[in-house]
Amino acid sequence: MPRTVVFAALFAAAAALIQPSAAETPVERGRYLVNGIASCGNCHSPQQPEGTVSGPPLSGGNAIASPAFTAYPPNLTPDRDTGLGSWTADQIVTAIREGVTPDGKVLRPPMPVAFYRGMSDRDAYAIAAYLQSLAPVRNQVPASSYRQPTLPGYGGPVGAIPDPDPSDKVAYGHYLAQMGHCMLCHTPRDANGRIDTSLLGAGGVPVGDAGIITPNITPDPKFGIGAWTDGQIADALTKGVRPDGSHLAPPMPWPYLATMSDQDIGAITAYLRTLKPIAQ
């Protein structure tokens, strides 16, 4: 065998080794993220009050009401008239990460654009590919209404974003927690309506129809989850069960997180343990 061919073969083998998920297609990766950590269906799928999906997944969600708005998460299936059927993958990715639609509208809350801005190119396009692979469902959601002004934008184009390194457990856990927009629900707002980063994970936010207040998920041993073992945190995230056996109500997206790998749940746990403990 000529030398260059041998080197090329070795190089291909090495490349295969450093990309353990190379066998996963973009649609498979997108399915794992959308139905897992990104939990898009927690807003964009029709559901019963107790959280079970009650119609075609991702075909448009229930009203999400707050004092500031009544929002109807749109149909994400590729129906041409009522969904994303006429959008290109680039346009879907721009909507998710930059919050701008093909006709120039800025997406409003609670679409968690600010949390999706750091999503890698590979993951964002995988999500677009998965949405485009769904069966089109015809369903026009009602128009949303907003009673307060919303953000003028999210900061413009994000550029090219490389994949995070899963071997850096805490950084990878942070990447996943952003995609899971944990802090959208688990962090109070400042006076300008933005996430109060000095209280990251402190909870205390009313969410959902039942007016549930989100708990503190910082490592404070008394007010947060600092005294929970890794296994207990994994059970809360993937089974919706607290150490005392009580169950987590919607909209905590545990039925989505239940589909995640142990490795990814472990990375999120490692990241949560690095948050500043907050005693409130």
Binding site for ligand HEC (CB under 6 A): 34, 38-40, 42-44, 71, 73-74, 76, 92, 95-96, 101, 107-108, 110-112, 127, 144, 177, 180-182, 184-186, 207, 212, 214-215, 217, 225, 233, 236-237, 242, 248-249, 251-253, 257, 268, 272
Contact 180, 253 (CB under 8 A): yes
Whole-number minimum distance, CB 239 to ligand HEC, in Å? 11
What are the start-end ranges of the E strands in the chain?
A: 64-65, 69-71, 145-146, 206-207, 212-213
> Closer to ligand HEC at the Cβ: 24 or 258?
258
> Closer to ligand HEC at the Cβ: 34 or 278?
34
> Closer to ligand HEC at the Cβ: 202 or 225?
225
The amino acid present at 43, given as its one-letter code, is C
Helices (H), 48-168: 89-98, 113-116, 121-133
Residue 24, sorted as left (phi over 0), alpha (psi -120 to 50) or beta, turns out to be beta
Whole-number minimum distance, CB 170 to ligand HEC, in Å? 14
Whole-number minimum distance, CB 95 to ligand HEC, in Å? 4
> Closer to ligand HEC at the Cβ: 24 or 117?
117
To the nearest 10°, report the CA torsion of 204, 207, 209, 212: -30
